[in-house]
Amino acid sequence: MLAVAQPGAEAAVTRSEYCSRLGLQLDGAIQTKAKPGAGASQIAEVTALHDKANRLCAESKQAQGIRTYANALKLLGVTPIDLDQ
C-alpha cells in the first residue's frame, strides 16, 4: 500500500533546514541593523554568535545551533521564524 499525504500537509522541516533558514534570517537582520548608528559591539557579538551557530549546525549539533541563532536574533530585537506555523 502507498501512503497518501493529506492535502495541504507540508513535509516536516528538518533541524538542518531550520538551521539554514535561521542563518538566512540572521544574515538579513544583520544587514538591516548594521547601518550607520547601529552599535558596533552588538553587531560584533551577533556576528560571533552567527559563526558559532553555523559551526554547531555543520558539526551535527543542530539543536545547539538553532538556540544560538535564536539568541543572536533576539539580541537584534528580531523574533526567530517559527516553522510550526
81 domain-assigned: no
Helix (H) and strand (E) counts in the chain: 3, 0
Q: What predicted TM-score, i.e. pTM, was given to this entire model?
A: 0.79
pLDDT, residue 85, reads 55
9 domain-assigned: no
Residue-wise pLDDT for 40-65, tens only, equals: 888 899 999 999 999 999 999 999 99
Dihedrals φ, ψ of 24, to 5°?
A: -65, -40
3 domain-assigned: no
30 domain-assigned: yes
Per the structure, the count of domains in the chain is: 1
1 domain-assigned: no
Confidence of residue 15 (pLDDT cuts 50, 70, 90): very high
33 domain-assigned: yes
**Domain enclosing residue 36, as ranges:** 15-75
